[in-house]
Structure 1
Amino acid sequence: MSNDKPLILVVDDEPDIRELIKDILEDENYEVKIAADGQEAQQIFNEQQPDLILLDIWMPDIDGISLLKEFKQQNKNVTIVMMSGHGTIETAVEATRLGASDFIEKPLSTAKLLRGVEQALENRAKQASIQKELAQIPVGKSQQIKLLREQVERVAKHEMPILLVGEPGVGKHCFSHYLHSLGQFSGGKFIELSPESFPLDSLKITSLAKNNCLYIHDLALLSDEAQALLLHLLETHKLQQCQLICATQYSLQKAVDNGDFLESLLYQLNSITLVVPPLRDHIEDIPELVHHFVDVQTTRSGLPYRRFTVAAQNRLRNHEWSGNILELKNVIQRLLVLGNGEDIDVADVDLALASEAEAIENGDETINFELPLREAREQFERIYLLRKLQETDGNVGKAAKLAGMERTHLYRKLRSLGIDTKQI
């Protein structure tokens, strides 16, 4: 038996089923432990910390949902797949909400079982890789980034809300994860909310936030209702058991002056403000950023390693980078995907930058499916809204109707995406 295989715990009160699952998985060279009830499962879990648990819903001493809660409270990173022959949609939804990665219905076929196990373990490996990358120290040796890292380290454990301010693509998301890794709720989840996903239910927000990190990006674009609810929660001290981090690319004071943001909410949030500088202000960090993104892409995406020559790195240093670090990351990815030789030289960089500029100028932007969901969604929103504005000759009111959005929300979204309606 290979020792590098993950340990799988099978919990089922039916002897024939758990022995069958054990035999199937061991034939695939997995290490397997079995438990007939919740008490036995808890003992194995505490002693051996399995990587994956196949957990039956219905058992004699304790139900699978309750056991799922206990396992997740003890180790939030454990991967659990629920099994049941009597499963319902409601049960599956409840299990997923509580942290189950999948739900497999009985009777189990060999193909269905192995596919579920392989997918769960692959997702676990991907999430571990992503979390490792997100929690790392932000890259950069410039004075600006060193100072910002020092500020983050000083305020991370502070109980007051932290506000990150900076242009699109400067790395606010990266610094928010760094704050979380250093904060007093680092053992909890990093829960990200956007203006679109912000729940207008105080109980849901406080439940999500408890003992976790709550990150609200595009803060200035929150709806009036969301702003009022967030203000209420802060004034009544209902978000004290969490780390609250907010991010914005706009001046909130200007948003207040324009009537788009509550002044009292601004006062609640701006006690600790950290400014993330644009890439043009610390171009000396570009060589280190290049090496970092090459390592990430070759490791996570399996792209071939290619070396950037010194001349290529100098060319990157002299680019304007209006899209900041995110634009640099995308250009590097494009060069790794499309390049042929072992080295990337100035000509390769010039070609990549020219093709990007031409695509933007011609409106031929496409969605990069290699990006994380949040960044890919921003690309889609930009393409979608540009199309709606072109269809209405730049009329924001008509575009809002076509998009099914409120006019004020569309204005805020256009500003966040850097879209100037006068140029449509």
Structure 2
Amino acid sequence: MSTEKPLILVVDDEPDIRELIKDILEDEAYRVVTASNGEEARLVFTQQQPQLVLLDIWMPDVDGISLLKEFKQQNPGVTIVMMSGHGTIETAVEATRSGASDFIEKPLSMAKLLRAVELAIENRAKQAAQRHEFALEPVGKSPKMAQLREQAERVAGHEMPILLIGEGGTGKHCFAYYLHRLGLYNSGKFIEVSPESFPLDSHKLVSLAQNNTLYINDVALLSDEAQALLQHLLESGRLKECQLICATQLGLDKVIARGDFSEGLFYQLNTITLQLPALRDHVEDIPELVHFFVDQQTTQADLPYRRFTVAAQNRLRNYAWPGNVLELKNVIQRLLVLGDSDDIDVEDVESALQAEQPPQADDVTGINFDQPLREAREQFERIYLLQKLQETDGNVGKAAKLAGMERTHLYRKLRALGIDSKQV
């Protein structure tokens, strides 16, 4: 795998700011080119094809939003972070709709700038991996998966809202992206919002959704205000120019019966409903899923290839999988990281399944539930990361893979929590 850092183009008409950003990024071993106006930026962008652009909004010859649209049209895969000293919410929304990955304000905090660059690069890598993973058809030849693929192909060409129902870990997010790739707005963005990040500004929500796919995860947990706004936008037809996909673990009729969900919104969303099966209901797909996840992890995560014996695969088929496909993926990743031979046998699987068992309520004795949430979260993170380090004999790289974190982020987190991996 190449370790060369991406080429970054810095576009700003203020020479002091431009050179300061360049010096700081080069100190961090990034490759950097600069441009002082739109004309120079176009030339550099075409000739040198940077992977990341830091783009000022206000310039003398062309505004940054127009330049952003040009660059995204030339290269939809380029990552662009906007900079502005006079930004507004409307400007940030327009930049996001036009393809910007982030928006940072001047005067620039160098720590915030470096963090924005790191996040942009990480997100670029993750999105590339996700595009490859999510664009694939759902894995499995069982009757249930064949029926689900057939249903997806039938409904994806319509603009009506789609409701996905499935237990946690069944792959609702991946399946929503699959519907996006099949749908009318596959040339637009796949925008995900959760109950916590749901915009309560109608203009912002409509702007984000327009000509894109809007995916609302855990729709049953939306606040009353968010439900009312979503229902109003659907009834008024303001969310027509988008593909709306909502997901829930609970049948909405049960949430309505508890008085926690709007019946009117339910009728707006319940036009097309797709049920994602639990893994225990299509265990015949497990061998194919095993091969898929092994190939994925060895290619994308650079893990060593290991072969699952027939006995190991048979044990996986005869496990209940309360965490569904996501749990299977985690078990396979654990086995690839911690395995010390070319073959993974049934004994290895037994050990990994034992490690996957969730703690019982009376096992969490190390956490003080009387403290504020922030402190309790830090305490849990400490317990969790110490467990991962113990499982990997203090190997931070392997622990990062088990935790699903970037190695550099894990190092920072360990320092913040006062954990010395060498002492574990």
TM-score bucket (shorter structure):
0.7 to 0.9
Shift of 1:44: 5.5
1:205-284 equivalent positions in 2, closer than 5 A: 205-284=205-284
Partner SS for 2:357: helix
Q: Which runs of 5+ in 1 are unaligned?
A: 374-424
1:193 and 1:19 map into 2 onto residues whose CA distance is 37
Shift of 1:321: 1.0
Per-residue deviation, residues 362-417 of structure 1 (Å, max 9, x unmatched): 645948875679xxxxxxxxxxxxxxxxxxxxxxxxxxxxxxxxxxxxxxxxxxxx
CA distance 1:89–1:234, change in 2 (3 Å): closer
Per-residue deviation, residues 309-361 of structure 1 (Å, max 9, x unmatched): 11100000000112211111122222222222221110111112123337447
Farther-moved stretch of structure 1 (248-257 vs 96-105)? 96-105
Shift of 1:187: 1.6
Using the size of structure 2 for normalisation, the TM-score is: 0.72
1:134 and 1:186 map into 2 onto residues whose CA distance is 13
Query: What is the one-letter code of the residue matched to 1:355?
Result: A
- Equivalent residues of 2:164, 2:245 under 8 A apart: yes
CA distance 1:322–1:72, change in 2 (3 Å): same
Matching of residue 130 in structure 1 with residue 124 in structure 2: no
1:275 and 1:95 map into 2 onto residues whose CA distance is 34
CA distance 1:360–1:299, change in 2 (3 Å): farther
Report the number of matched residues.
Answer: 363
Query: What is the one-letter code of the residue matched to 1:125?
Result: A
Name 1:315's counterpart in structure 2. 315
Partner SS for 1:334: helix
Name 1:327's counterpart in structure 2. 327
Shift of 1:150: 1.3
2:105 and 2:221 map into 1 onto residues whose CA distance is 39
1:6-405 equivalent positions in 2, closer than 5 A: 9-13=9-13, 35-42=35-42, 45=45, 50-72=50-72, 75-81=75-81, 87=85, 94=92, 98=96, 99-101=100-102, 120-121=120-121, 123-357=123-357, 359-360=359-360, 363=363, 366=384
Farther-moved stretch of structure 1 (71-80 vs 148-157)? 71-80
Shift of 1:213: 0.8
Using the size of structure 1 for normalisation, the TM-score is: 0.72
Shift of 1:94: 3.9
2:164 and 2:48 map into 1 onto residues whose CA distance is 41
2:252 and 2:261 map into 1 onto residues whose CA distance is 7
Q: Which runs of 5+ in 2 are unaligned?
A: 365-379, 389-399, 406-424
CA distance 1:12–1:206, change in 2 (3 Å): closer
CA distance 1:203–1:121, change in 2 (3 Å): closer
Percent of residue pairs bearing the same amino acid type: 63
2:77 and 2:357 map into 1 onto residues whose CA distance is 42
1:351 and 1:134 map into 2 onto residues whose CA distance is 30
CA distance 1:363–1:197, change in 2 (3 Å): farther
Shift of 1:71: 3.3
Q: CA RMSD in A?
A: 3.9
Per-residue deviation, residues 122-147 of structure 1 (Å, max 9, x unmatched): 54233212222222221111111111
- Equivalent residues of 2:93, 2:204 under 8 A apart: no
1:115 and 1:235 map into 2 onto residues whose CA distance is 41
